[in-house]
Amino acid sequence: MTDRRMKKKEKQQEVFFDYTLLFIVLFLLGFGLVMLFSTSSYEAYLQFGDSAYYLKKQVFSTLLGLVIMLFVACIPYHFWERFATLGYVVSIALILLIIPFGIEANGAKRWLNVFGISLQPAEVAKLGMILFLASLVCRMGRKVRTGKGFLTMVLVPMPICALVYIVTNNLSSAIIILGIAVLMLFVASPDYKRFVLIALAGVALCALVIFMIVNSAGSDGMGFRGTRILAWLDPEAYASDKGFQTLQALYAIGSGGIWGKGLGQSMQKLGFLPEAQNDMIFSIICEELGLFGAAAVILLFLLLIWRFMVIANNSTDLFGAMLVVGVMGHIAIQVILNIAVVTNTIPNTGISLPFISYGGSSVLFLLIEIGIVLSVGRGIRFKDL
């Protein structure tokens, strides 16, 4: 009887490690590399004479990210709390460094060259925002539920969102950072009435902007974002300009059917769909693997979010729970917006599909965030589950 009790006590003290979460992430990474090679090989061969050009760069970033992820997972997550404010300041500094030292690619100046590696400060800002807001919620405690605390949490991400939008001209990243903050505040503050009012005000503002753009269609000073909204409403009318990429993506989705054309058999990636390996890779998944493949990818992301919720609910303290909620918000918002753009549910804007789209900075910092979540999970004991 004594031995049985001792074994039970030892089991209760065992450290929890979420192998399910790790498996899902590894599967998404492996699947992403396969789809990246399938999607980019034709364009890579034409531009660089190497069909595996994009794949090699992504493999390097992925392997580096996995090493850092495992390292971060072994560090107690409270270690990062002392760097929360520094992360916020560094995020602002890196964004401002784009002005004199930024690298321009595809008409956008959003990257810095750090030791030969292209770094996108917006990705750093997402991680920095998660750390800072998680720490701020813990410091404020119950004050976050007051009107002043609520306003503070809303205003804190605004400077970084504004800088990302103005300096890098990256509206999608600014929206994601703001979305992360709103979701973390939503979890920390149970007063849902405020969020309903914010949502209604946001919908009303978007409707007003769309109404004004539609009424001023054809006039000078529309800007490329105004044209994008018009192309979203009627892509056929802008088939040779802003609506071209959207239409090609929809053609890819429609031609895939239920089971798809087969891996590597996409036609749209052969020069028809611009930057297919980046924001539009989901449309190639639909074309090659069909509705079945697309549904499987969405299911994997849902399972990933479920594991985040399990870890957040069983976290031993508020800081750990808020970190996981921030990472969950980042990935969930990005997945939803990417699929919405590809299916023309919202206007076209540059948003990558986590773990699958091409992008070294994106996959690197996503894996760092996964490492933090695994670290929070390691703080859980089996008796807490």
pLDDT, tens only, 64-105: 999 999 999 999 999 999 999 999 999 999 999 998 888 877
First to last CA, the chain: 24
Q: Which residue from 194, 185, 134 is spatially nearest to 373, judged by alpha carbons?
A: 134
The answer to whether position 43 is within a domain reads: yes
Output the pTM of the full model.
0.92
In a domain, 12, yes or no: no
7 falls within a domain? no
Contact present, 131 and 151 (Cβ < 8 Å): no
Ramachandran area for residue 122 (φ above 0: left; ψ -120 to 50: alpha; else beta)? alpha
In a domain, 166, yes or no: yes
Mean pLDDT over 249-256 rounds to 91
Is position 263 within any domain? yes
**Collapsing DSSP states into helix, strand and coil, what is residue 29?**
helix
Domain containing 63 equals: 17-380
Residue 205 located in a structural domain: yes
The count of domains in the chain is 1
Cβ-based neighbour number of residue 186 at 10 Å:
16
The residue assigned the tokens 């929070």 is 376
On whether residue 258 sits in a domain, the answer given is yes
Lowest mean pLDDT among 167-176, 196-205, 233-242: 233-242
